Structure 1
Amino acid sequence: MSNYEKYLETQLQDLDFKEEYDNLEAEYQIIKAIIDARLELNLTQQELSAKTGIKQSNLSRIENGNCSPTVHTLSKIARGLDKQLVIKFV
């Protein structure tokens, strides 16, 4: 279990946090997907920044949930992670 997953598990025990998390689940899924893919490739934010042209500080804000990336930005991140961006409604 990653540090993020441990942290999330702890935070979800707080009912107020869980309610807000559920309301923002899609955003958290995006954040988790980015972090997991980056760590899977053993890339730092700085290295991903070099591959994508996105400032490291902006990647940090995205991963911390302090900004909502556009589809264009997500596409750049996906390419930098050698992934394909897929958006679907289920």
Structure 2
Amino acid sequence: MADLKYKPVPHNHAEFLASASKRPDFAEEYDSLQLEYALAGQMLEARAKAGMTQDAVAERMGTTKSAISRLEAAGRHAPSLATLKKYAAAVGCDLQVKLVPHKAT
């Protein structure tokens, strides 16, 4: 079994957004990927809470670290529900999906 010791890399999201928001069209592109970023954030949080590395998750899922890296990268590709279920199980979580009606305007 892989070493399950996990040391998160420090990341200041507020600083990242402040810097990135200076780029042209950043806000529009960022907003269009809101759901993907939210999912990626939840995945990273779940993996951190489980104290797992990408290698450890990959081993539990029967895949490679690079596949986990791509899976956790928002906006790069759209994983299947089956893959998300495997990821959730690997980090000790259940996957929940729900449809939310649009807000009336």
TM bracket (short chain) = 0.7 to 0.9
Compare relative contact order (CA 8 Å, sep 6+) and give the higher one, 1 or 2: 2
How many angstroms apart in 1 are the aligned matches of 2:17 and 2:82?
31
How many angstroms apart in 1 are the aligned matches of 2:85 and 2:19?
29
> For 1:20-62, what per-residue CA distance to the aligned partner results, in whole angstroms no more than 9, with x for missing partners?
1111111111111111110111211001111111321111112
Contact 2:55 2:65 in 1 (8 A): yes
Structure 1: gaps of 5 or more residues: none
Structure 2: gaps of 5 or more residues: 1-9, 101-105
Superposition TM-score, scaled by structure 1 size: 0.82
CA RMSD, aligned part only?
A: 2.0
Moved over 6 A (4+): none
Superposition TM-score, scaled by structure 2 size: 0.72
Identity score, percent = 29
Based on CA coordinates, which of the two structures has the bigger radius of gyration?
2
How many angstroms apart in 2 are the aligned matches of 1:26 and 1:61?
16
Number of aligned residue pairs: give it: 89
Letter in 1 for 2:21: Q
